[in-house]
Structure 1
Amino acid sequence: MNAIRIVRKGMLSFTVGNLVVTRIDVNIIFKVEHKHSHSIGRRLLIDPAGNPILTLPRCNLMSFDDRWQVFRGDSKESRDLIFSAKRSSGFQLKTTLHVFLANNTTENARDFKIKGSWLQRSCVIYAGKSSTIIAQMHKKQTANLFANDTFIVTISPGIDYAFIVALIVILDAINLDNGD
């Protein structure tokens, strides 16, 4: 398993969009920017030089399924769609997202599942309908009340870091919107 850190900057852990992703050696590999576009929030996953890697727009603020789409770069063109994620049901104590790759147009079976809660500061990402865990996130404990929130994410070999970070960003956004 490989590990990365996700750090929420600032004293207030509910500040939107201030995520920095580093390797365990603290070298930055991604940052997350929060943008507002026509009242629908979107996040950008960018590299350390500020180049967009992924665009994560929320499809509809009024929807109960919290559908998000993820596109290559700074695009929202259907040809650049990588995957979409939506909540499995409208009301949940812990958030469960079903993830569908772009070529899975029927969405009869999920390609991945993420289950967790930002309130509990943990989540697990599974492959398909199996119990195979491809990544896990948990909060790093600290005695300092004013320290940045730091999360450790362990990722199975061969799994794309940007994919995992995008899923965690979506979970974070949904939980921020719901006050979780």
Structure 2
Amino acid sequence: MHTASEKMFATTSSSMENLAPVVAVGEQFCVPHVVDLTITGKAFRDHLTVTDTSGDVVFTVETVVSLFSHKLLLLDAAGHTLLTIKAKGITWKVYRGESKDEKDLLFKVKSKIHLININMELDVTMPINNNFNDGCDYKMKAKGLSSSPGNIYIGESNSIIAQSIRANKLFGCKIQARVNPNVDYAFIVALIVISEDYYSGS
């Protein structure tokens, strides 16, 4: 019998390939099997909860708002801050832990501006020797504001490392995510959180 997640991703999972390990946050978040996660949030998405297929909490996300900006905190199940995501305009910077130091900057995300802002496209850049180039190491794409699958690719290739299906609800949101084997699922959750921030127009 197929699980709900297997049915949900049945039409697209065949394009997910066995690729080299993808590590951005930590090797402890890379496992040799597919990871299915559910991300739920209430209205305004000020708090998100990430659970596994057993219903156990894996991560939570908190939003901290200041006068001119806001940041998102990705916490582990014990409540420790894994990542701090600082949002500014169409750019998000992701730091390790609660750090604000540039040496702890793990990756940057920037949204592409379309004349008609229907489709989402986020470019992810990783540092090389603490320097960022102008290229794109990973990309997240989704069509429209519906529950169309949002795919995360390696660079400009067609190699998919994770997928998500998003459903808006009257009093919140629900996202189903499937992460490829040996892909850092904390990294993928961070990208999905950023996509939610993008959609919320924060």
What TM-score, normalized to structure 2?
0.74
Unaligned runs of 5+ in 1: none
SS of the residue corresponding to residue 191 of structure 2 reads helix
Report whether the alignment pairs 1:96 with 2:121: yes
Moved over 6 A (4+): none
1:154 counterpart residue number: 178
**Identity across aligned pairs (percent)?**
31
Alpha-carbon deviations, 1:89-113, whole Å to 9, x = none? 3543211011000228353321000
Unaligned runs of 5+ in 2: 1-33
Residue pairs, 1:22-33, within 5 angstroms: 22-33=51-62
Report whether the alignment pairs 1:19 with 2:60: no
Q: Residues 124 and 136 of structure 1 are in contact (CA less than 8 Å); yes or no, is this contact kept in structure 2?
A: yes
Alpha-carbon deviations, 1:79-133, whole Å to 9, x = none? 1000000012354321101100022835332100001158213411001111000
1:136 counterpart residue number: 163
Residue pairs, 1:33-72, within 5 angstroms: 33-58=62-87, 60-61=88-89, 66-72=90-96
Q: How many residue pairs are counted as aligned between the two chains?
A: 166
Alpha-carbon deviations, 1:124-151, whole Å to 9, x = none? 100111100000001479xxx7686332
CA RMSD of superposed structures (Å): 2.3
1:107 counterpart residue number: 133
Say which structure is richer in helix. 2
Give distance in 1, aligned partners of 2:194 and 2:171.
23
Give distance in 2, aligned partners of 1:165 and 1:40.
21
Q: Residues 118 and 171 of structure 1 are in contact (CA less than 8 Å); yes or no, is this contact kept in structure 2?
A: no
Give distance in 2, aligned partners of 1:101 and 1:118.
26
What TM-score, normalized to structure 1?
0.83
